[in-house]
Structures are given as C-alpha cells and as structure tokens.
Structure 1
Amino acid sequence: MDWITMGIGLPLTLTVIVAIFLQVKKDQGAPVYVINLLFSDLIQFCARITGLFRPRIASGIIDFGLMASVGFMVCISLERYLVIAKPLWYRFRRNIKTYVVVCVVVWTLPLSVLLTVYLTREYDTAKIFYQTIVPSLALLPFPLFIFFLVGTIKALSAALSVPAEEKRRIVAIQVVVLLIYSLLFLPIISKLLSKEFKLIHYLLFLAGIYLSPLADPTLYLLTRKSFLDTFLASLCSCKASDNQEMSSKDTESTTAPHTETV
C-alpha cells in the first residue's frame, strides 16, 4: 500500500503543485490554503519513505502532516463560507499578512502538540495525551465543517448576484471537504479513541491514512472553473439526452394506438 499510494499520489501532488504555480505566473489568484494542504500531503509521502528506515520518526511526521491537513481543510471551508456570507469583510481582510499569519498558526499548532507528546518523559501521560487529547482536538473541525456548509447554502440562497455555476462550485467544495474529513479522518480519530482492537476500525484507520493524501488534489480541481464547468456540462448533456430519449419513447407509445386504429 505504501508503494502504490506513493506511486500514484506523489506524482499527482507534484503535478497539481506545479499547475498551481503556473496559474500564479499567469496573474491568476493563488489558492494559498490548497497549496499548503498539498505540501502537508508531500510531508506525509516523504514520511512514508523515511519509514522504511526510521519507523518511529516517520510515525510522528505522518501525524504532523495529517493534523496540518485537517487545519488547512478548515481554512478552505472557512474561506468559501466568508466569500459568500461576509463578502465585504472578507474583501478587506484578504491580504498577504492574513494568509501568512493563518498558515503559520496552522503549521505551528500540530507541531507543538506532537512535540509535547514526544517530549513527555512519562509513558502513561504521553499515551493518554496521544490517545485522548489529540483525537479530541481533531474532532473539533467536524461541527465547523457542518456549520460552514449549512451557512454557505443559506447565504447562497439569498445571494442573487452570484451566478448559478459559481454557486454549484462553492457548494461542491464544501461538500467534498466534509466528505473527505468524514470518510477518511473520522475513522482515524475513532481508532485512536477506541481502546479495544477491532478489525473494521483498524482497516478503516489504514484506509484513511493511505487515501487522505490522494483525495486532497480534488479540492484544487474544484477551484478551477474550467474543470467543474466541463463536468457539470457533461452531466447536463447526459441528463438532456436521457430526457430526450424518454420523451421520444413516450411519443412513440402514445402514437402507437392511433396508428393501429387507423
């Protein structure tokens, strides 16, 4: 699983990062939090390579990358919410200084937590801190994701100036963030909180650790209007073709009795 996920995820993440920097060179807006999220994925991939030689050190680096990923997912969801719910406030607060401060805080918090765990000399205290306090802190973003999604949907219903395509794109980002956290990070948290060994929890725990870096590049694809518009256009064309086929069948079924009577 290490080699498969690294063989797919590492080139994919590097490709997306290069695409983002090319987007910046074309004077387009840079998704700062998405870039940091992808760098947290790179840290996890590098930690797996380190794990082949130093498993204990690699475990701490992977934990650091996972916690940073959750933090930047919260930033992405919050940013999408503020764009719609508080557009004027967000426009004046959106600057390089704010981005730098938020990113430094997100990178520093998991590092300080993990250093507290690994520098604790008493084994029982460190174990309680790692298996109780750290997962409990990781659960805090879950209600935030739900609040941001519901708040975004309510704000979009009242935002008449926002195009329908932009509304679908913003909601899609919020839904994907919530799904990634619920399907991949919640099993990891539940495994850390559970004191009993269960095979299902352990398999979901491994799936979350291995697949979470692979799911993050989808957030970049959703920030690109061209990708989402093409995807939605394909869905609409498929739906239109299905409706046309059903309508043609209905017309044939309605005209068939008349032809028989004639």
Structure 2
Amino acid sequence: MDWISMGFGLPLTLIVMVAIFRQVKKDQGVPVYIINLLFSDLIQFCGRIIYSCMIEIGFTIMFIGLMASVGFMVCISLERYLIIAKPLWYRFRRNIKTYVVICGIVWTISLIIPILVYLPIETTDTPILLTILTSVLLLPFPFFIFCLVGTIKALSGALSVPAEEKRRIVAIQIVVMLIYSMLFLPIISYILLQKMDIIIYLLFLVCLYLSPFADTTLYVLTRKSFLDKFLASLCSCKASDNQEMSSKDTESTTAPHTETV
C-alpha cells in the first residue's frame, strides 16, 4: 500500500508542481504557500522511502514534512481570511519579503522540533518530549475554526466581493478544515497515544498515505477556472431541479381546472 500510494502520489505531486511553475511563467500569480505545501509532500515521500532502510531517520524526515504541511495549511487559511476580513492591510503587506519571512519561520520550526526529539541528551525522555512536541500540531485546530467562522462572517459584509469569489474562498477554508480533521488529527492522535492497536495503526497509515493526495486538492481549488466551472455546474443542476419542481406544481394546479371545463 505504501509503494502503491507513492507510485501514484509522487508523479502527481511533480505534475502539479510543473503546472504551477508554468502558471508562474504566464504571470498568473505565484501561489507561494501551495508551492511550499507541495515541497513538504515531496519531503514526506522521501522520508517514506528512507524509512524502509533507516527507521529513525525516515520517521524524522516524514515528521518534518508533516509539520511543514500543517504549517503551510495554516498560512493558506490565514491568507484567505485576511483577503476578506482585512483586504487593505493584506494588500499592503503582501510582498516578497513577507512571504520569505513566513516561509522561513515555518520551515525553521518544522526542522527544529523533530530534531529536538532525537537530540543525544541523557536527561531527555524521548517519549515524553515527542508527546509534548507533537502536541504543537494540535494548536492549528482552533485556529482553523477561527479562520473559517471569521471568513464566513466577513463575507456577509463584503459587498465588493463577487458571489463566485465568496464561494471559492469558503470552499478552500472548508477543505483545509476537512483535510486537517480527517487526515492529520488521526496521525497526531496515534503519535500521542503511542498504542499499537491494529485499527488505530491502520488508520494512521491510511491517513499518512492520503495526506499528499489531499494537498493537491488545495491547488485545484485555488485554480479559479476549475472551481468556478464546478460551482456553476452545481448551481445549474440546482436551478434545473427547481424548474422541474415548479413545472410539476403548475401542472398539478392547472389539471383540476381543465377537467371542470
């Protein structure tokens, strides 16, 4: 299962990265956090390959990629919130220097915390330290909830934002929340519980293997053309259903009158 998921996930991640760099060459904007998120997926794939030969080193590399993935998901969620809630502040703060500083902080934290677990210090209790450091990954959970609720509230007063853009931003926030809740929380729970129950272990493996695939969906959602077409198709289906219901209602109301005539 591990090799099958890597056989599909690694080429898919590389294809998406090539598509992003082609998008950048066409001057369509640079999705900095999405690019770094995909790099964290590549690090997880490398860690899984090394894990088959060197367990501790492979797990450390996977943990680095996992923390970076969560960190850049936080950046994506915060960016979507600021676009709606603080548009003027975000517009003036959005520059290359800010991106470099934020990405540097995320990668530094992602590198330092896993290395601390394996420091050769005699007084350090590795299981306890691993539990404490893994608990850091739980901190984004209330933050994701705050960004989702804050974005929905801010969208109600954002009259200048088109309806399609509102749906796209809310969809991205919901997907980020679902990815973290359904894939990353089971992984964090497994590391914190440190139990080798077969069901929990299998759930841990499935979530670990699927997390890079879920990150590619964020890139798809950031593509405005794709999401607009998808939402438009949903709206057209809903409109057609409403038209069918209204036509049936009119037929049922006109039928008794025709019989009396």
TM-score band, normalised by shorter chain: over 0.9
Q: Displacement, 1:124? A: 6.5
1:179 is aligned to: 178
Residue 12 of structure 1 corresponds to which residue in structure 2? 12
CA distance in 2: counterparts of 1:137 and 1:260, whole angstroms: 72
Deviations 1:127-161 (A, max 9, x none): 1111x212210100111111111111111111111
Letter in 1 for 2:40: S
Alignment of 1:116-131 (within 5 A): 116-122=116-122, 125-130=125-130
SS of residue matched to 2:125? helix
Tell me the amino acid that sits aligned with residue 136 of structure 1: S
SS at match of 1:216: helix
The equivalent of 2:75 in structure 1 is 75
Structure 1 residue 195: Cα displacement: 4.6
1:253 aligns with 2:252: yes
Q: Return the alpha-carbon distance in structure 2 between the equivalents of residues 58 and 41 of structure 1.
A: 14
Alpha-carbon distance in 2 for matches of 1:251, 1:203: 54
3-state secondary structure, aligned to 2:161 = coil
Give 1:123 deviation, angstroms. 8.6
Report the counterpart of residue 52 of structure 1 in structure 2.
52
Instruction: List alignment gaps of at least 5 residues for structure 1.
Output: none
C-alpha distance in 2 between matches for 1:222 and 1:123: 47
Give yes or no for contact 1:71–1:106 (8 Å, CA) kept in 2: yes
CA distance in 2 between counterparts of 1:189 and 1:122 reads 26
**Secondary structure of the structure 1 residue equivalent to 2:160:** coil
| Residue 250 of structure 1: how far off its partner (Å) | 2.3
Shift of 1:224: 1.2
Structure 2 matches for 1:159-170, cutoff 5 A? 159-170=158-169
| C-alpha distance in structure 2 between counterparts of 1:195 and 1:96, whole Å | 41
**Deviations along 1:72-114, whole A, 9 cap, x unmatched?**
0001111111111111111111111111111111111121111
Is residue 2:23 matched to residue 1:29? Answer: no
> Aligned partner of 2:242: which letter?
N
Q: Which residue of 2 aligns with 1:214?
A: 213
Alignment of 1:179-258 (within 5 A): 179-258=178-257
User: TM-score normalized by structure 1?
Assistant: 0.94
- Cα distance, 1:206 vs. partner? 1.5
Partner SS for 1:67: helix
Conserved 8 A contact 1:120-1:126:
no
Would you say the 8 A contact 2:60–2:115 is kept in 1? no
TM-score of the aligned structures, taking structure 2 as reference length: 0.94
Q: CA offset at residue 28 of structure 1?
A: 1.4
Alpha-carbon shift at residue 241 of structure 1 (Å): 1.8
**Distance of 2:221 and 2:142 partners within structure 1:** 22
**Residue identity (%):** 74
Q: How many Å separate the matches in 1 of 2:9 and 2:123?
A: 35
Once the two structures are TM-superposed, the CA of residue 208 in structure 1 deviates from its matched residue by 1.5
Q: Which residue of 2 aligns with 1:140?
A: 139
Contact in 2 for aligned 1:13/1:38 (Cα 8 Å): yes
Say which is worse superposed, 197-206 or 140-149, in terms of deviation. Answer: 197-206
Unaligned runs of at least 5 residues, structure 2:
none
Distance 1:195 1:223 in 2: 36
Q: Provide the secondary structure at the position in 1 that maps to 2:118.
A: helix
